[in-house]
Amino acid sequence: MYSRERLNEKAQVIKMDDLLLQKIAGEFGTPLYVYDGDRIESQYRRLKGMLPKEFNVYYSLKSNPTLGIAGLFRGLGSGIEVASAGELYLALQAGFDPRDIIFTSPGKTREELEYAVEHQIYSINIESIAEAELINQIGSLRSRQINVAIRINPDFNLSGAGIKMAGVPTQFGIDQSQLAEAFQSLKSLSFVKIIGIHVYTGTQMLSTQNILANMEAIIKLALELAEQYQFKLEFLDLGGGFGVPYFPGEAPFDETGLRQGMAAVWDTYRNQLPGGVNMAVESGRYLTAESGVFLTQILYTKECKGLKYAVCDGGSNQHANSAFLGRHIRNNFPMHVLGKHELPTELTVVGPLCTPTDVIGQKVMLPAVTPGDIISIDKSGAYGLSNSPLFFLSHPLPAEVVHYQNKTVIIRERGKLEDFVKGQSFIPEMTPLANS
Residue 45: per-residue pLDDT: 98
> d(Cα 37, Cα 40) in Å, to the nearest integer?
5
> d(Cα 323, Cα 393) in Å, to the nearest integer?
16
Task: Please state whether the predicted TM-score (pTM) of the whole model is above 0.75.
Answer: yes
Neighbours of 12 (CB within 10 A): 6
In the chain, where does the domain assigned CATH 3.20.20.10 lie? 97-283
Task: Name the 3-class secondary structure at 65.
Answer: coil
Residue 155: per-residue pLDDT: 85
Specify whether the CB–CB gap between 201 and 242 falls below 8 A: no
> d(Cα 193, Cα 197) in Å, to the nearest integer?
12
Specify whether the CB–CB gap between 60 and 81 falls below 8 A: yes
Burial class of 10 by CB neighbour count within 10 A (0 to 12, 13 to 18, 19+): exposed
Beta strands 407-412; 399-404: pairing state: antiparallel
CATH topology of domain 97-283: TIM Barrel (3.20.20)
Contacts for 204 with CB less than 8 Å, ≥ 6 apart:
161, 162, 163, 241, 243, 244, 285
Residue 173: per-residue pLDDT: 83
Which residue, among 388, 338, 406, has the nearest Cα to 366 in the 3D structure?
338
Specify whether the CB–CB gap between 411 and 67 falls below 8 A: yes
Convert the pLDDT of each residue in 14-30 to its tens digit. 678 999 999 999 999 99
Look up the CATH architecture of domain 290-417. Beta Barrel (2.40)
Convert the pLDDT of each residue in 209-223 to its tens digit. 999 999 999 999 999
In the chain, where does the domain assigned CATH 2.40.37.10 lie? 290-417
> d(Cα 258, Cα 240) in Å, to the nearest integer?
13
What parts of the chain have a pLDDT lower than 50? 1-11, 436
